[in-house]
């Protein structure tokens, strides 16, 4: 196994073949072939992506299915109310954008909770997926949206 790794993951047959040549200086203690995890990962292939939710039936064609968010800051100087962070929520289907200001980064989860209630009342639908930084910065237990 050591020669396999040292020789750049060379195949075992090639190592045994080279060990038989006296000038190579390779002495094998045993002929046990161990599985190399790095080689196994290198031989893996990816499955084809599902086309189930593409085209006319795609999830982004429904209001509230995908909402993107972004959080910028800290912004200097602070505004007159002391806010240093600017956040946005965007649903591209109805071209709806909502901007919020916050004094601290951890307020983003609370702002999303308020946005979610407002959005669901206004458009009479549920938000299914949230993409962006708010999901990465929110650690509060009341933050219950499925994260992607």
What dotted CATH number matches 56-137? Answer: 3.30.420.10
Which residues, other chains included, contact 63 with Cβ-Cβ below 8 Å and sequence gap of 6+? 91, 93, 94, 123, 125
Least reliable range by pLDDT among 13-22, 86-95, 96-105: 13-22
CA–CA separation, 94 and 71 (whole Å): 21
Q: Using pLDDT thresholds of 50, 70 and 90, give the confidence band for residue 136.
A: very low
- pLDDT for 16-41, tens place per residue? 888 888 887 777 777 777 788 888 77
Ranked by mean pLDDT, which of 23-32, 43-52, 82-91 comes out on top? 82-91
* Over residues 37-65, mean pLDDT: 71
- Domain map of the chain by residue range? 2-43, 56-137
DSSP assignment, residue 106? G
pLDDT at 56 over 70: no
Average pLDDT, the chain: 77
pLDDT at 148 over 60: no
């Amino acid at each position: 196994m050591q020669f396999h790794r040292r020789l750049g993951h060379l195949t075992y047959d090639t190592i045994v073949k080279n060990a038989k040549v006296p000038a190579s200086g390779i002495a094998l203690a045993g002929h046990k072939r161990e599985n190399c995890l790095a080689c196994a990962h290198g031989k893996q292939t990816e499955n084809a992506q599902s086309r189930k939710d593409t085209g006319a039936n795609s999830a982004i064609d429904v209001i509230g299915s995908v909402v993107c968010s972004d959080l910028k800051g800290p912004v200097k100087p602070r505004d007159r109310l002391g806010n240093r962070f600017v956040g946005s929520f965007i649903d591209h289907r109805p071209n709806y954008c909502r901007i919020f200001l916050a004094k601290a980064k951890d307020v983003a989860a609370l702002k999303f909770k308020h946005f979610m209630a407002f959005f669901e009342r206004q458009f009479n639908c549920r938000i299914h997926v949230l993409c962006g930084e708010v999901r990465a910065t929110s650690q509060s237990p009341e933050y219950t949206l499925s994260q992607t």
